[in-house]
Amino acid sequence: MKKFDTDSIATMSKIPRLNLINSVTGYKSANLIGTISKEGILNVAIFSSITHLGSNPALLGFMIRPIASTPRDTYTNIKDNQYFTVNHITKAMIADAHHTSAAYDSGISEFEKTNFEPEFLEDQKVPFVKGSPVQLLCKFVNEYPILENGCIHLIASIEKIYVEDELLQKENWVRLDLAEVVTINGLDAYAVPNLIDRMEYARPDQPTKSML
């Protein structure tokens, strides 16, 4: 088994280090965040750091890379308008989703550079991504600076949830594999998970049974 320690990681060139550290922690979520600028420019960008933070209240969080190094349109738009959307990425959306990571100027909408179409639900002014099987409307709640690397952990409430009917299972479990929702391995590799099993709630000294 190959070993990497702090010294060998520190002396790696940039790309091998990025690939290693971004992939070694495992599969990550794949989402498109939709925002709108004060000037009305629609922005959509891929993120792989969105995580569940709690269900009551319903909260999620994601990481913003250092603002000082590069302008962060998603962050600026969220701070200006408070609201944003989270849209799941499917297998058919991979190429366009990845392209949203390109460094376009703030005045250019990624919707104009991809095949994605903005969708406005219930008169919301922030764009959803048309065709995404799971869509969330979120509102900025707080942010926490990560002093060690200059990143920001942004916290948001989940205000509305839109789920395709066929994905919604018993007791509101959302079965993502039916829509071929993808995950991200590292920076640029995409995978489609296949459901293996779903287990009952685990209790001490009791065998855990399959629910399928």
Distance in angstroms (rounded) separating the CA atoms of residues 41 and 122: 19
Residue 198 falls within a domain, yes or no? no
What pLDDT does residue 212 have?
Answer: 86
Question: Domain count of the chain?
Answer: 1
Residue 71 confidence (pLDDT): 62
67 found inside a domain? yes
- Does some domain include residue 81? yes
Domain coverage including residue 72: 26-191
Which H/E stretch holds residue 110? helix 110-113
206, part of any domain: no
pLDDT recorded at residue 67 = 72
| Average pLDDT, consecutive stretches of 10 residues, N- to C-terminus, the chain (212 residues) | 94 94 95 97 96 97 82 90 98 98 92 97 95 98 95 97 97 97 96 94 90 86
How much is the pLDDT for 69?
63
CATH number at 141 reads 2.30.110.10
